[in-house]
Amino acid sequence: MLARTALTSKLAGFGTTIFAEMSALAVETGAINLGQGFPDTDGPPEVLDAAVAAIRSGVNQYPPGLGAPELRQAIADHQRRFYGIELDPSTEIVVTAGATEALAGALLGMLDAGDEVVVFEPMYDSYQACIALAGARAVPVLLAPDNEGRYVFDPADLRAAVTERTKLILLNTPHNPTGKVFTVDELATIAEVALERDLIVVTDEVYEHLLFDDRQHVPISTLPSMAERTLTISSGGKTFNTTGWKVGWVSGPEPLVTAARTAKQFLTYVNGAPFQPAMAVGLALPDAYFEGLVAELQTARDHLVGGLRAAGFTTYEPEATYFATVDIRPVDPTGDGMAFCRSLPQRCGVVAVPNEVFYARAEHGRHLVRFACCKRLEVIDAAVERLIEGVSR
Ligand SMILES: Cc1ncc(COP(=O)(O)O)c(C=O)c1O
């Protein structure tokens, strides 16, 4: 029998993700799964057809290491069209296996053991794991609701989090799980700190096309003097309802892109050959596509938020993304989100995710629970009905 521990000590404490546990519970109980953030409708037919055509025409072997040239060109065109950003597709863009690999490539490619990374908590769950794999340390800055229910951070906390060991700030806007869109003022505060302390900013913008109520996405790389120190990450999964394709990308100045690519090439090398030209088709779709996508999701957001409020939760209205966060304490005074989510499928036939898994300091998220709105309206309405009926019983 093997006597030693198989798992690297760097990943001690990173067990099976809560999404696997909750999705298994959904299957076991037949509950409606508002836990994991994946849409239950297909993406635009032009994009799906392009992938099928690529497979049929033999685009099935390793694509170029940097990614298919037509996709890199489409990413450059997209960044210019939506944000006025100019990129050289031959040196400033690399295609990755989703934003997840982009994050891993960036963090493993840039961090040394002992380095520190300033992160806003709560955060997407791969951030802490990748920082740990790099032997670095995540230093959290808390995002918490203000009196109006808007998630904010204290600039003093951000400044206090930066030390001599800080190498980069890891930002995510629009933000999962809170649905927050960082305002231009907030981005300017982050930029000021990055400039003062000579920090790199790695920014995860996978929800860049899912902003509600006519909000505009502002990439932090467009702020003065930030382009040269910002690595931008995005992917096509959320924008084209193709989360299973895992086509993402990094873009920015050559030294930062090269650092991420150097690690990335030893992770997957390349991925998704036939999906890459299909993503290029998606990125070039007319404005009407992007407007329709967000209009539909906003309606779903409204149904979900209205329903969660009717069920008695304190509900923080998301400004963007697939998710709404609630405070469960009005319906469950124990405020134990983990226990609440574990019993919810049996009690109500609905699956949600406890936000504490998104925090470096779990106590800050103990009473919070996340529901996904990226589902068909009838699915959301059915889930909401069950919650209104069952949650406070
Ligand atoms: C903030 C954030 N970043 C990255 C990802 C992963 O993106 P991808 O599926 O392209 O790897 C997600 C997916 O949920 C996310 O919410």
Domains, the chain, ordered by start: 9-43+288-390 (3.90.1150.10), 61-285 (3.40.640.10)
Supply φ then ψ for residue 250, to 5 degrees: -115, 150
- Which H helix or E strand runs over 248? strand 248-251
106 lines ligand 1 (CB under 6 A): no
Instruction: Calculate how far, in angstroms, residue 29's C-alpha sits from the geometric centre of ligand 1.
Output: 27
- Which H helix or E strand runs over 167? strand 166-172
pLDDT by residue, tens only, the chain of 393 residues: 999 999 999 999 888 788 888 889 889 999 999 998 899 999 999 999 999 999 999 999 999 999 999 999 999 999 999 999 999 999 999 999 999 999 999 999 999 999 999 999 999 999 999 999 999 999 999 999 999 999 999 999 999 999 999 999 999 999 999 999 999 999 999 999 999 999 999 999 999 999 999 999 999 999 999 999 999 999 999 999 999 999 999 999 999 999 999 999 999 999 999 999 999 999 999 999 999 999 999 999 999 999 999 999 999 999 999 999 999 999 999 999 999 999 999 999 999 999 999 999 999 999 999 999 999 999 999 999 999 998 865
- Nearest of 208, 211, 213 to residue 237 by alpha carbon: 208
Instruction: Calculate how far, in angstroms, residue 153's C-alpha sits from the geometric centre of ligand 1.
Output: 22
Distance CA 231, CA 204 (A): 9
Instruction: Calculate how far, in angstroms, residue 102's C-alpha sits from the geometric centre of ligand 1.
Output: 10
Distance CA 89, CA 70 (A): 9
Residue with tokens 């290491």: 65
Distance CA 359, CA 363 (A): 8
100 lines ligand 1 (CB under 6 A): yes
327 lines ligand 1 (CB under 6 A): no
Q: What is the pTM of this model?
A: 0.97
Instruction: Calculate how far, in angstroms, residue 100's C-alpha sits from the geometric centre of ligand 1.
Output: 6
